[in-house]
Chains A and B, each alone.
Chain A
Amino acid sequence: MTSYSWAPGFVAGDRPRIVTSRFEFEDSFTLERYLATGGYAGLRAAIARPAAEVHEEVRSSTLLGRGGAGFPAGVKWGLTPEGVFPRYLVVNGDESEPGTYKDRLLMERDPHQLIEGCLIACYAAGLSRCFLYIRGEMALAQERMATALNDAYAAGYIGKNILGSDFSVDIVLHWGAGAYVVGEETALIESLEGNRGMPRLKPPYFPAAIGLYGKPTIVNNVETLSNLPWIATNGAAAYTAIGTESSPGTRMVAVSGHVKRPGVYEIVNGTTTFRDLLYGEEFCQGIRDDNELKAFVPGGGSAPWFLPDQLDLPFEGRLVGAAGSMLGSGAIMVMDSTTDIPAAALTLTRFYAHESCGKCVPCREGGTWLMRILERVVEGQGTTEDLDLLLEVGGSICPGSMPHAASAELGLEATPFPYRMTTICFVGPSAYVPVHSAITLFPSEFAERVAPARVRTRIPVTAVGSAQ
C-alpha cells in the first residue's frame, strides 16, 4: 500500500502485479530500466515460436479487452478474413471515458511495455503496420511514448528484421485532437484516415474485416496490449491462475469521487468486490468524512449507477451485467450522502451531449434535449412534465426497458444490461443512462425539485440559449 510521487493517483498494494510491476521505479519509462526488469523477454520468446502458436497462447489466456466491451483479444485477432493482407494494428490510447484513467498511466510510466505488447500482437496476428493513437490532451504520455519509440528503434526492437528475425513492423505515433467519440473503434479509424471522427455503421464496417483503408484492422486498448509481454513471458496458464475463469488476470481500476483515498489500483480480476474497493484498507478506506454512500457509477460515465445494495458484487463483467450495469473501462465514481443527484447526473449528460459527433439524430438532438431539460430541473425551473419528457426523449435513444440496479428500499428488481439503441455508437445512450439511473433510483430528489405541471407549460427547450 504505497504511493509514488512520480505516479500521482496510482496506489500499489500487496497484490499480483502484471501491468504496473515497474511503477515503483522512478525511471520506469526508460529503456535501461525496462531491460533491467525483464523487458522485451516476451518479444524474444514470442518470435522464437511460430506466430500461430503465440496467437493460440493469447487465445487460451482469455485476455479480455480492457477498453469497455470486454471482448477476448485472442478471439478478436482471429476475426480477420483469411488470406487478406495487409492487416493493421491500431492502438486505442484515446482514453477519455469520464472517471477512467489507466491507459494514461501505462503510457507515461511504462511505454516500453506497451510497445512490446504491440509487437507481440503484430507478430501473432500477422499485422504489418501499427498506429499508436494517443489522446491529444495527454502531452506527457506523447513525450514518453515518442522517447521510448525512438530508443526502441535505435536498439533494434522495432523496424526492419527485429532482433535479427524476419519479423518487421513499424510503430507510428499518432495523436488525436480532442474528441471523446474517437474512442469508438470505427471513429478512431476514420480519424486516423484524416476525417471527422464519426463512427461507421456495423455491419459492414467491422474493423477486423473492413478497417483502416478498408483493410483488416485490429483495434486494441492500451491496457489490453500491456498485458501481452507478461503472458508471452510467463504463459497463459500462469495468467489464468490469477483471477477467475471468466475474467482472468488483473485489471486497472480508477476509483474517484467521495472516498477517503481515491486512486488507481491494479486489482485481481473477477473476485475483488465493490465493498473491498470502496471500504477496504488496501483500497479507498471508506467514504469521505465517514458519510453514507449514496450511489456509485461502477464502470465509467456510460455505466448505469449502483446503490449500496450492490456493494457485495465482485468486479466481474457477467455478474455486473446481470445486476443492471457494466464494468466498461474500469472506473468507479463515488457519490456520498451530500451529493445533489440531479446535478451529478447533469455533469455526465452534459459531457455526452457535448461529445455527440452529430451523425445520428437521436443522439445529436436527444442528447442536447436531455441536457437542457435536466438543466431546467436542476435550476428549479422544471415541472413534473419535464420528468416525463426526459424519459420520453431518452426512450427515443434507447427504446424499451433500460438496465437499472435493484433497490430494496424502492422495491425495484434489477433489469440486466444491455439496452437497445437507435444510434450507431454508445455516446447517445450514455447521455441518457445517468438521467435514467438518477430518476429511477432517486425519484424523490426529482419530485422535490419540480413544480406541478401547469396548463400549457410545455416550454420549448430550444427557447433557452443557443445550440452550444
Chain B
Amino acid sequence: MARFNDANLTTAHEIIARYPRPKSALIPLLHLAQEQNGYVTDEAMRQIAELVGVTPAEVLGTGSFYEMFRFEPTGRYLINICGTMSCALMGARELLHAAERSLGIHAGGTTPDGLFTLHQAECQAACTEAPCLQVNYRYRFKMTPEGVEQLIDDLRAGKLDDEIPPHGTLARVRQHIPSDRAVGAVDPDDVVGPPAWIPVTVEGAGS
C-alpha cells in the first residue's frame, strides 16, 4: 500500500513530464511519496526508481542526502526548533527544553502515540522573529516556552488541523501546467539552434 495511489501516480507522471530528463523529478516524487505515507517507504523508492529509470539504490542515495526525507515512521507533527545563531541568541535552548519536557522525549525522538517527532533544526529563515520553530514546516514566530507547551496541547487536541496538514504535505497547492499553454520539455540533446525570439546570426548559430 506504499505505492502511489491512482491520483498520485497521475501527478507523478505530470511532474516527470516537466523535466528534460526524468531523474530531475526524483526529489519532487520523494516528497509526493512522503506526503502520501508520512515517510518514504522502501516500496515507494522502488516505484520511483521504475518511474524515473534509475535503480532503487540511486533513489535512496539521493534521498538520504536531504534532511526532510524520513525513512521511518514519523510523528503526525514534526516539530523543528531552530537552534542557529539568531534564535540561539534569543532563547532557542529554552524552547527545546520546554518541548522535551512537555513531550517526554529528547530531540530526535518520536512520542509512543506516534503524534509528535521533535528535532533541533538549523536556520529557518525567520531570524528577526526569533526564536522560531516550524510544525510540519508551518512557522511559529517569537515563541516562548509557555507558547511551546500551549502549541503542543493545541496540536494534540486537533485544534490546528485546518492550518497544519499531517507531516509530509508541503504546499497544498500544486503547479498545474495546462496542456494548451505548455511549451513542453525537450531532451537537451535534441535542441538545435536558438529559441524563436533570438535572431539567428549570419553564421546561423544565434547570438
Q: Which residues of A are at the interface with B, using a C-beta cutoff of 8 A?
A: 8-9, 47, 50-52, 82-83, 85-86, 95-101, 103-104, 123, 126, 128-129, 135-140, 142-143, 146-147, 149-150, 153-154, 156, 158-160, 165-170, 172-180, 191-197, 213-215, 254-258, 262-264, 297, 301, 331, 333, 335, 339, 343-344, 347-348, 350-351, 354-355, 357
Q: How many A-B residue pairs have CB under 8 A?
A: 249
**C-alpha spacing A153/B174, complex, angstroms:** 13
Q: Are B198 and A51 within 8 A (Cβ)?
A: yes
Chain B window 154-180, contacts with chain A (Cβ cutoff 8 Å), 1 for yes, 0 for no: 000000000000000011111111101
Q: Smallest distance from the beta carbon of B122 to chain A beta carbons, Å?
A: 5
Q: How extensive is the interface on chain B, given as a class?
A: 35 or more
Centre residue among B27, B83, B126 by max chain A CB count within 10 A: B27
Between B54, B138, B191, the greatest number of chain A beta carbons within 10 A of the residue's beta carbon is seen for B191
Contact A193/B23 with A9-B129, A180-B122 known, Cβ cut-off 8 Å:
yes
Instruction: Tell which of B23, B85, B122, B198 touches A194, judged by Cβ atoms closer than 8 Å.
Output: B23
Of A51, A139, A150, which is within 8 A of B137 by CB?
A: A139
Please state if B170 and A95 are interface contacts (CB–CB under 8 Å).
no
Pairwise interchain contact A257-B85, C-beta atoms closer than 8 A: yes
Interfacial chain A residues near B68, Cβ < 8 Å: 136-137, 177-178
Q: How far is the CA of A302 from the CA of B166 in the complex (A)?
A: 34
Cα–Cα distance between A196 and B58 once the two chains are bound (Å): 10
With A138-B137, A139-B137, A142-B171 in contact, is A177–B67 under 8 Å at CB? yes
B10 sits at the interface (CB 8 A): no
List A contacts of B186 (CB < 8 A). 86
The CA of A156 and the CA of B122, in the complex, are separated in Å by 39
- Given that A50-B199, A156-B181 are known contacts, is A263 also in contact with B89, CB under 8 Å in the complex? no
Do B173 and A150 have beta carbons less than 8 Å apart? yes
Looking at chain B's contact residues, the main secondary structure is: loop
Partner of B21, one of A98, A158, A193, A197: A193
B64 to chain A, nearest CB (A): 8
B192 at interface, CB cutoff 8 A = yes
Mark B residues whose CB is within 8 Å of A: 18-21, 23-28, 30-31, 52, 54, 61-63, 65-69, 80, 83-86, 88-90, 122-130, 134, 136-139, 141, 170-178, 180-186, 188, 191-199, 201, 203, 205-207
Question: Can you report 20 A-B residue pairs in the complex whose CB atoms are below 8 A from each other?
Answer: A9-B141, A51-B197, A99-B127, A123-B197, A128-B183, A138-B137, A153-B176, A159-B181, A160-B183, A172-B19, A180-B123, A194-B52, A195-B23, A254-B128, A255-B128, A256-B130, A258-B89, A335-B89, A339-B89, A347-B88
Question: In the complex, what residue of chain A is closest to B63 when comparing beta carbons?
Answer: A177
**Cβ-closest 3 pairs across A and B:** A83-B205, A178-B67, A159-B181
Given A95, A175, A301, which contacts B84 in the complex, CB threshold below 8 Å?
A301
Pairwise interchain contact B31-A98, C-beta atoms closer than 8 A: no
Q: Which residues of B contact A47 (CB under 8 A)?
A: 197
Chain B residues with CB under 8 Å of A357's CB are: 65
Contact between chains at A177 and B83 (CB < 8 Å)? no
Please determine whether A160 and B182 come into contact, CB atoms closer than 8 angstroms.
yes
Is A143 touching B172 in the complex (CB atoms < 8 A)?
yes
Interface contact B185-A129, CB-CB below 8 Å: yes
Q: A172 CA to B174 CA in the complex, in Å?
A: 11
Asked if residues A159 and B67 are in contact (CB atoms below 8 Å), the reply is: no
Inter-chain contact B24/A193, CB cutoff 8 Å: yes
